[in-house]
Amino acid sequence: MWVARFLDGTEILEAQPDQFSDDGLAKTPPDSFVISRNLSGETLSIYSDNVWDLSPYSLMSKGTKYNFTSQFGKPEGKLSKTAHTIIGEMKRIMFAVLYEPTHSGGQRNKPQTYRKILEVLRGLSIIALNENKTLAQLHESPLVGPKITASLYASKTAFRKAEALRDLIALIEYINEHFKTELPTLIPNEQLKKILSVRSQLRSSYVNDPSAQRTPLIPSRIYSALITLSTEVVTDFNEHKEQLDGFMKRIKADPLFFATPSMLKDNQRPGSTTNAKLQNAFNEYRKHYPSARRTDMPLLS
């Protein structure tokens, strides 16, 4: 049996979703398949829901929900038959991504990590519906490539959409090959190559753009100097760590360790509380060590 990839083993048993048969990925899960449960074990989402609430397994303070319909901007009751078919295709793809245990090296991630896949599907679903195509028919449209390419110019970092699309298509091909799932392949390889070519150009422009806000790199010479100086500081500290340890313990036990009459400034207000405390401490030491030099005299608190 397969468990959801967004579980990390720390969840209580009552809150875990259903497990899935490892020989049935080619089939659509039953509508009653439990996608998520709350901490008390009550069902939050099932496969037939158009919103999967995965908040109990998320690290996000606002929770994580997979919404398969909101991108269409219409109530579910007013969606066309084609739209409902697309929603079913999106669910099948997301379910395979969340449950197939071997892709990406078997790495487990929290639900918010897989949202980028859902965002790609939501974008493609809008294009498909506008073309009156399902996701399985999307490759038939000659406009899907140009529409995706145009979206890459929406912002300086929009080229990353092409990277997410590339990764999703590769993942679908992997699952189809190993489990005979027949998930929609979305777009032809020829169109994907053209999209990725544009992505490379836009990425290069972004990297070479001096105005792009990116984390500045530390020059290697400065980084090397920092390492050298840090090593010297650690070496010096280790040579005197026992003395420093004793010094800090003494200060903690005796806050007036440094106090001497020389700390009494001429311009301080006579009779101040601070001066009185220091003078009393000094007088106390004079009782115990009448012949001690002032510079040798640690003061009692």
- Say if residue 141 is in the same domain as residue 235: no
Is residue 212 included in any domain, yes or no?
Answer: no
Residue appearing with tokens 């967004």: 6
Q: Is 283 helix (H, G, I), strand (E, B) or coil?
A: helix
pLDDT (tens digit per residue) in 159-203:
888 999 999 999 999 999 888 888 999 998 899 999 999 999 988
Is residue 1 included in any domain, yes or no?
Answer: no
Tokens of 95: 């379910």
User: Phi/psi of residue 263, each to 5°?
Assistant: -80, -10
In terms of DSSP bridges, do strands 43-46 and 34-37 run parallel, antiparallel, or are they unpaired? antiparallel
Residue appearing with tokens 């899935």: 20
- Taking the alpha carbons at both ends of the chain, their separation in whole angstroms is 69
Is residue 235 included in any domain, yes or no?
Answer: yes
Answer whether 189's CB lies under 8 Å from 139's CB: no
Find residue 51's DSSP bridge partners.
67
- Say if residue 22 is in the same domain as residue 148: yes
- Say if residue 93 is in the same domain as residue 36: yes
Q: Which domain holds residue 164?
A: 13-207
Tokens of 11: 């969840």
- Say if residue 60 is in the same domain as residue 199: yes
- Say if residue 86 is in the same domain as residue 120: yes
pLDDT (tens digit per residue) in 39-62:
888 999 999 999 999 988 887 767
Of 172, 207, 242, at which residue does a domain stop?
A: 207
- The continuous run of DSSP H or E covering 284 comes out as helix 273-288
Domain count, the chain: 2
140 vs 268, higher pLDDT: 140
**Cα 134 off chain centre by:** 32
Residues in the chain: 301
- Say if residue 54 is in the same domain as residue 186: yes
Of 207, 228, 260, at which residue does a domain stop?
A: 207
Q: What percent of the chain has pLDDT over 70?
A: 79
Q: How far apart are CA 79 and CA 71, in angstroms?
A: 11
Is residue 148 included in any domain, yes or no?
Answer: yes
Is residue 34 included in any domain, yes or no?
Answer: yes
105 Cβ contact list (under 8 Å, min separation 6): none
- Say if residue 69 is in the same domain as residue 122: yes
Q: How far apart are CA 196 and CA 160, in angstroms?
A: 10
255 vs 165, higher pLDDT: 165
Tell me, what amino acid is at 187?
Answer: I
Query: How does residue 11 score in pLDDT terms, banded at 50, 70 and 90?
Result: low
Tell me, what amino acid is at 128?
Answer: A
Q: What share of the chain is helix, strand, coil (3-state, %, to 5)?
A: 55, 5, 40
Tokens of 247: 């010094």
Claim: this prediction has a pTM higher than 0.85:
no
Q: How far apart are CA 269 and CA 135, in angstroms?
A: 84
